[in-house]
């Protein structure tokens, strides 16, 4: 009986200590409590190898943190695979079918489990991977707070309801970001992430063919030469597998070309070009085009804010997953 009581007391003390550690969301969290001092270096090593092998994976990892955090907060719910108890998680939503980079998160998690099992959350890996993706693509280095927990809920409907598409207006995007506590300037700033990555033709051919009210059929806000170039790649009934760089000039470099391209009418999505014509966002967009260092500084702050949305609080259901694709009780 004494041994049992002693074990229970030790177990409760361990749980209390772990809870105190887990909820101290801060920069250098795993260093500060000495729970896994090499965590950020391990994630960085994995992401570095992945980006060197395929530079486009940087944009995929940056997109992943956005798609995760906009749905129930930054809790790695986007990583959960379908299961018997949850056959339709977030990743099965139509808007998430093109999300890539899951294998990078898996590799980082496996390395962390070997080094310090049961300590680093998958939600933190997503946030750190996005931060590293920016730096590895030529963007500025910045700190990313850690100490998140992994969520227990992942719903296809939540993803469909909360993730904005590429056809929204600047006003609609402002409203959607505001619902998550992000300002209009943060929304415009974060749109600059489209300086890296690729888009499928069918995401923007609505601006190339049969555009309403246009005698040429092309969205008049498109740079005409660029539009003709895109038409040579993307036919009317194009294969959705065809990819076009979001930035035609430096597709794998994290710079402010997105904004300079936007001023010239050389961005792909309706949601992007709207930022350069709406009276409330035009000045911000032009300012970001003119001052690259200012934009990069704002981007770092905005990404940290995005990656802190709706964190799981003490007493709420959360865990440190052993496998990022499954909740622990399903393993």
Closest-CA residue to 232 (of 210, 208, 198): 208
Backbone angles phi, psi at 296, to 5 degrees: -60, -40
Give the CA distances from residue 138 to residues 4, 125, 196, 252, in Å, rounded to whole numbers and listed in that order: 56, 20, 11, 9
Please identify every residue annotated as catalytic.
Answer: 67
Cβ atoms within 10 Å of 278's Cβ, excluding its own? 19
The C-alpha atoms of residue 76 and residue 148 are separated, in whole angstroms, by 9
DSSP 245: E
Per-residue burial over 160-176, b = 16 or more CB atoms within 10 Å of its CB, e = otherwise = eebbbebebebeebbeb
Q: Are 152 and 85 in contact (CB under 8 A)?
A: no
What single string gives the DSSP state of each residue in 145-174? -B---B-S---HHHHHHHS--TT--HHHHH
Question: 153, exposed or middle or buried, with CB in 10 Å at 0-12, 13-18, 19+?
Answer: middle
Q: Are 206 and 243 in contact (CB under 8 A)?
A: no
- As given in the structure block, the two tokens for residue 114 are 């070997």
């Amino acid at each position: 009986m004494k041994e049992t009581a002693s074990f229970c007391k030790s177990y409760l003390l361990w749980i209390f200590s772990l809870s105190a550690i887990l909820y101290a969301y801060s920069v250098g969290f795993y260093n500060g409590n000495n729970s896994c001092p090499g965590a950020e270096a391990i994630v960085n090593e994995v992401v570095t190898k992945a980006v060197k092998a395929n530079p486009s994976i940087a944009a995929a990892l940056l997109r992943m943190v956005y798609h995760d955090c906009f749905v129930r907060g930054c809790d790695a719910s986007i990583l959960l695979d379908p299961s018997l108890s949850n056959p339709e998680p977030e990743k099965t939503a139509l808007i998430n079918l093109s999300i890539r980079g899951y294998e990078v998160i898996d590799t980082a998690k496996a390395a962390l489990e070997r080094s310090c099992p049961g300590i680093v959350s998958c939600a933190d890996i997503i946030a750190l991977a996005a931060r590293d993706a920016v730096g590895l693509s030529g963007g500025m280095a910045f700190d990313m707070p850690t100490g998140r927990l992994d969520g227990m809920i992942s719903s296809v409907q939540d993803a469909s309801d909360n993730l904005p598409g590429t056809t929204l207006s600047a006003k609609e995007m402002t409203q959607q970001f505001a619902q998550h506590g992000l300002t209009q300037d943060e929304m415009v700033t974060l749109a600059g992430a489209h300086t890296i990555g690729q888009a499928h033709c069918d995401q923007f051919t609505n601006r190339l063919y049969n555009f309403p009210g246009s005698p040429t059929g092309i969205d008049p806000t498109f740079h005409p030469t660029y539009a003709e170039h895109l038409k040579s790649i993307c036919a009317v009934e194009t294969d959705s597998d065809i990819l076009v760089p979001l930035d035609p000039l430096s597709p794998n470099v994290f710079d402010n070309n997105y904004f300079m391209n936007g001023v010239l009418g050389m961005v792909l999505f309706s949601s992007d070009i709207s930022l350069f014509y709406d009276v409330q966002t035009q000045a911000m967009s032009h300012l970001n085009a003119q001052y690259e260092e200012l934009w990069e500084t704002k981007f770092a702050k905005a990404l940290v804010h995005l990656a802190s949305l709706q964190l799981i609080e003490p007493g709420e259901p959360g865990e440190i997953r052993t496998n990022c694709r499954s909740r622990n009780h399903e393993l």
